[in-house]
Amino acid sequence: MATVSARWPTLIITVCLVLCIQSIAANKTSVPALLVFGDSTSDPGNNNYIHTVLKSNFPPYGRDFIDHHATGRFCNGRLATDFIAEGLGVKKTVPPYLHPNLSPQDLVTGVSFASAGTGYDNLTASILNVIPMWKEIEYFKEYQLLLKQMFGEQRASNVINKALYLISTGSNDFIENFLQIPIRRLQFSPSEYVDFLIDIADSFIKELYSLGARRILVAGLPPIGCLPLLRTMNVLGLGQCMEEYNDIALHYNGELQTTIENLSHKLPGLVTVYGDIYKITYEAIFNPTKYGFEEVAKACCGSGTIEVGYLCNELIPSCRDASTFVFWDSVHPTERLYKMVANNLLQSLIPRLL
């Protein structure tokens, strides 16, 4: 990631472009930017620029993306955050903040600080050496400095205060720390760990608020027990959903929703909403024909049971039509499900933030 000072000469050259962008962004939408924090559900490629094994910047990832190339998104195409940005009239895709060639337009209309494999728990990020949530906050602070240098204090403040903030993380905390490497299971009961994570989420939202965020959408967990990877691990349950983990997700979601509502009442000017990812995903899995899906238990990539990251590659044949699958790899949704999630949020929740 280039430093603020290293970017400065290039930014001066583009001053005319910046002035044009200011005018367009100010008039096109009431949301000037979408700023994203979280994990692989909202990482458009930040992991490409850090030392980690958790990457997806190779085929068949991205095969259905706008120009059919792998961007680092853990998907066959766009993420829900991309569709939300498009629905708001901001832009078609949200770029990764760590991309070395971000333009002023990229920055002023929003970026993603998210990192695949991370979680609220710092331990989660350390397992695969990805960006912890606290570091995402540090990048956000750097981003604010860039905006002030490019657009001036007043314009930068307008973007920061009026932007829509989206937080999407939490699944990895349970999958990695409770199931795959049960470190936290030795320290916490599921209920205690939920409380532990909710306290961190509460602090994270407060930190964003202190930095100028006023409109925040916080996504809950999907039915993580129905991810193909967890189905595969559920040998004794004959590959059915691991209801234990679905129950944990529901408990977590309930506590998160309460926390979000409390923060909206406590912090002046803050508007937060809870994004129910669980319901729409659950409905797609258990009533697939209603939504045009054909396969819900296995993913499109490879055998559809364990492939994710480097295990999902061109050497392993993938399905022909990913749009008929709920899941792209054994952990992540297809572009089609992400679009459904985004449309649901755009129609039912985001208007409350505007």
251 is catalytic: no
Catalytic residue among 39, 43, 82, 332: 332
- Distance separating alpha carbons of residues 327 and 27, to the nearest angstrom: 38
Catalytic residue among 40, 168, 318, 323: 40
Tokens 């709920």 locate to 326
Counting every residue, how long is the chain?
A: 354
69 is catalytic: no
CA distances from 103 to 108, 111, 172 (A): 9, 11, 31
CB 274 within 8 A of CB 257: yes
Which amino acid type is present at position 44? P
- Distance separating alpha carbons of residues 68 and 62, to the nearest angstrom: 6
- Distance separating alpha carbons of residues 15 and 30, to the nearest angstrom: 23
Catalytic residue among 64, 323, 329, 330: 329
- Sign of the CA dihedral running 244, 250, 254, 259: positive
Residue 177 phi/psi, 5-degree rounding, is -90, -20
Give per-residue burial for 292-312: e unless 16+ CB within 10 Å, then b.
ebebbbbbbbbebbbbbbeeb
- Distance separating alpha carbons of residues 83 and 23, to the nearest angstrom: 23
* Closest to 319 (Cα-Cα) out of 300, 292, 297: 300
- Distance separating alpha carbons of residues 184 and 118, to the nearest angstrom: 15
51 is catalytic: no
Active site residues: 40, 329, 332
